[in-house]
Amino acid sequence: RYLTKMKAKIRADKNFLKIAGYYLSEGSTDRGFYTSISFNSDEKEYIDDTKNLFKQVFGIKKFYEPEHKQNHGISVVVSSAEISRIFEHFGKGSANKAIPEWMMIESTEKQSELIKALYFGDGNYGNKKYRNGTKETFRINTTSKKLAKQAREILLRLKIASSINVQKRKAPRKTMYVIVVGGEYLKKFGEIVGVDIKTTMNNKKRATMFFIDE
């Protein structure tokens, strides 16, 4: 009964949107009490960043860090019914993750932090050479169709055009939705996630299939 009436006030600042991005990409709640965000064991920078955000946003100082030897992972786990309830608003189960509507109209400065954490949690940068040239892309992966579409909308607010590739996978694996940024928008996305991208390729302006007007 107490849990159903629980309320908590959280400052909706850049730190909260960033930890929300980590949760949307790699987080889960368990038994209404535990919140965990998981990373590869060599992603120490993101593990430390997550712990720091839990401290700044929620005042949490105690963490559990179980190791998952089979998949070389580490989880940052906090024990709090209030925090668990907050993150349940972002969806339970990877395919059901979604950004709350109020976050969709937040400032672009804050939304950049959410996109950054989504990328750090479940994204990658690819630079592959093929016979007919080089293909360079940023990708963010999710099994949530709604989250993929929402991330694309936020990127448009950040003046970055992107596409969504759908990868059907054999059951029990879920369909993967991949947000792809390429062409001239690589530079702007790179500035958000801290990857230096050249404005030109082979001394030419980067080609793109999109144009954003007013």
The whole-chain average pLDDT of the chain stands at 91
Confidence of residue 5 (pLDDT cuts 50, 70, 90): low
pLDDT of 205 above 80: no
Confidence of residue 209 (pLDDT cuts 50, 70, 90): confident
Cis peptide, bond prior to residue 66, ω within 30 of zero: no
0.85 exceeded by pTM: yes
pLDDT confidence of residue 133: 66
Q: What is the distance of C-alpha 65 from the center of its chain?
A: 20
Give CA–CA dist 181/124, Å, rounded: 11
Alpha helices in the chain (DSSP H): 14-26, 44-58, 81-88, 101-104, 108-122, 145-157, 186-193
Q: What are phi and psi of 122, to 5 degrees?
A: -150, 40
Give CA–CA dist 196/192, Å, rounded: 10
pLDDT confidence of residue 100: 95
Nearest Cα residue to 62 out of 75, 49, 76: 76
- Of 16-20, 35-39, 71-75, 143-147, the poorest mean pLDDT is in 71-75
For 82, counting Cβ atoms within 10 Å of its Cβ (0-12 exposed, 13-18 middle, 19+ buried), the class is middle
pLDDT of 2 above 50: no
How far is CA 64 from each of CA 31, 60, 74, 104, 108, rounded to the nearest angstrom?
Answer: 16, 11, 10, 31, 33
Mean pLDDT to the nearest integer, 177-181? 97
pLDDT digits (tens, 9 = 90+) for 109-122: 999 999 999 999 99
pLDDT digits (tens, 9 = 90+) for 74-115: 999 999 999 999 999 999 899 999 999 999 999 999 999 999
Both structure tokens of 153? 């909308």
Report the share of the chain in percent with pLDDT over 90: 75
- Of 3-7, 69-73, 111-115, the poorest mean pLDDT is in 3-7
pLDDT confidence of residue 1: 34
Complete edge-to-edge strand list for the sheet that includes strand 67-68 = 27-30, 34-40, 73-79, 67-68
126, 203 Cβ separation under 8 angstroms? no
Nearest Cα residue to 123 out of 162, 159, 90: 162
Segment (H or E) for 76: strand 73-79
Q: Residue 180 in 3-state DSSP?
A: strand
